Amino acid sequence: EFRQMCSDRIWRIGVTTTSNNQSEIYTKALFPHAGPVVENFAITAVINEMLMQSYDGVIRLFPALPDGLDAVIDNLLAIGAFLVSSKIENGEIGEVRIASGVGNTCRLYNPWPDRNVRVIDMTSSVELYAGLDAGILTFPAIGGPTYTV
C-alpha cells in the first residue's frame, strides 16, 4: 500500500535503532551541513501517522508501524477531541485509554478482533455498551472522563 511504503521510506530516512533497540530521530537527516531538517521532511507527522490515524473519525492504533517495533503513545490527539494512549509490545496492543475532551461518539477500530472487548468509564467504573460494526467499536463519550478499552 502506498501509505505504508511512504511511512517505511521516511522511517528509514529519519529514524535509527540503537544497540538497545531504542529508536532515535535524526535531527539532521540527509543534510548534516544544513542544520535540523526534521520539519522539512514532516517526519513528526509521519511518525504520528504510523502510531495512530483518525483522519476519517475512526481511531486506528499503530496502523503503519514497521513489524517488530515496540511503541508507546501517550495523549496523542485524535479527531473528535480524543486524547489516546496505548502501547504495542511484541506485536500485541495493550490497554487503550481514551480521554474525551468535549464529548463525541468515539469510534475505535477494534485492535483485538478475536476477543471480547469492554469499555469502562474510569470516572464511575461503569461498563459502557460498545456497539461493534465492521470491526469498529462505537460508544458515547461525554466530555471529561477517561475510558479504558
- What whole-number distance in Å separates Cα of residue 149 and Cα of residue 111? 10
CA atoms in the 13 A half-sphere facing the CB of 33: 0
Q: Of 119, 94, 106, give the one whose Cα is nearest residue 54.
A: 106
Q: What is the pLDDT along the chain (149 residues), one digit of tens a residue?
A: 444 444 444 444 444 444 444 444 444 444 444 445 445 556 777 888 889 999 899 999 999 888 888 999 999 999 988 999 999 999 899 999 999 888 888 999 998 887 778 888 888 888 887 667 778 888 888 877 788 88
pTM greater than the 0.95 cutoff: no
- What whole-number distance in Å separates Cα of residue 145 and Cα of residue 131? 19
